[in-house]
Amino acid sequence: MRFRFGALVGCAPATQRLFEQLARIAATQSAVLVEGETGTGKRLVAQEIVRHSGRAAQPVVMLDCDDTPSEVELALFGNDPGVSDQPSEGGGALAVARGGTLVLKEVAALPLTAQARLVRLIETGFVQRIGAQRTRRIDVRVIAITREDLAKRCEQRLFRSDLYFCLRALRVRVPPLRERFEDLPLLVEALAAEERCPSTLHLDEDFVEWLRCRAWTGNMRELRNVLERVRALGLATVMAEPDHSPPANVTALFAGAHMAHAEHAWVVQLLRRHHGNVAQAASAARRSSSWLRRRIRHHNIDLSEFRAPVASLTADTVAG
């Protein structure tokens, strides 16, 4: 089993499938579409495609289409040197990336006119600068990144369907963290090796289960931030924070075995912290005691496992 693909790590089935897909895609020259929720690591995936490709030693230019939408077309394609009223003259990002790779972040924000130019580039290899009369050939590979549903945006006429079909031939979906819980120990170790994250974390069973029971709607970005809080405040403090309990709509966030495992782990962790005291545990979770007792029965949890043993008053103890 391959636990690493460049800077990407993971052992979960979803991650393994991703690694296999990336290895095959990197060997091609075609345009690529990288999709995924916020914080899943789409930019890192794009970087690894480049690193494992035949263009690794060539220029790589990353352009954020969502940064300045009104100027992105000029920044991407450049303008004809004879057009003097443009803010800048030159070939734009495409000219800089010639022979290498152009990475477009949040391609859904690309203006429709720029999308038409991009279709021509991907299909023919020719591009036309703004204000220019002639087209010119540019050898460049395009990797587009998006957190949006491009098919839905096509239906809304906000994204060109021809560009969508050009990109989706090699489409990569980066799985969210809730679909790859098995990766958590490896991810924590990898993040702990980075400067911004904790240098030492005790990955015991309780800590891993606490990580598994979160919704992780912010994915890897959220995991990084949580670990930074653990470093600054300590694990016990962060675990006790209300916003680190599963939300009320946990059922909607987890499906099947994931939901059952996540809720079971959360209830066990909650009872362990409060030594089996249901009232205290329910109060900390901002739930009613009756609700928590129903979940305890549902998961067949034995409360006696969490209650601290009471010392017996023997004659020796009294005498002492």
* Structural domains of the chain ordered from first start: 4-175 (3.40.50.300), 178-305 (no CATH)
Q: What is the pTM of this model?
A: 0.74
- Report which of 167, 45, 169 is spatially closest to residue 115, judged by C-alpha positions: 167
Burial of 253 (0-12, 13-18, 19+ CB in 10 A): middle
**Mean pLDDT value of segment 89-104:** 88
Q: Which residues contact 197 (CB under 8 A, 6 or more apart)?
A: 191, 224, 227, 228, 231
pLDDT above 70: residue 35: yes
Confidence of residue 86 (pLDDT cuts 50, 70, 90): very low
The overall average pLDDT reported for the chain is 82
In angstroms, the CA 272 to CA 241 distance is: 15
Residue bearing the bigger pLDDT, 44 or 188: 44
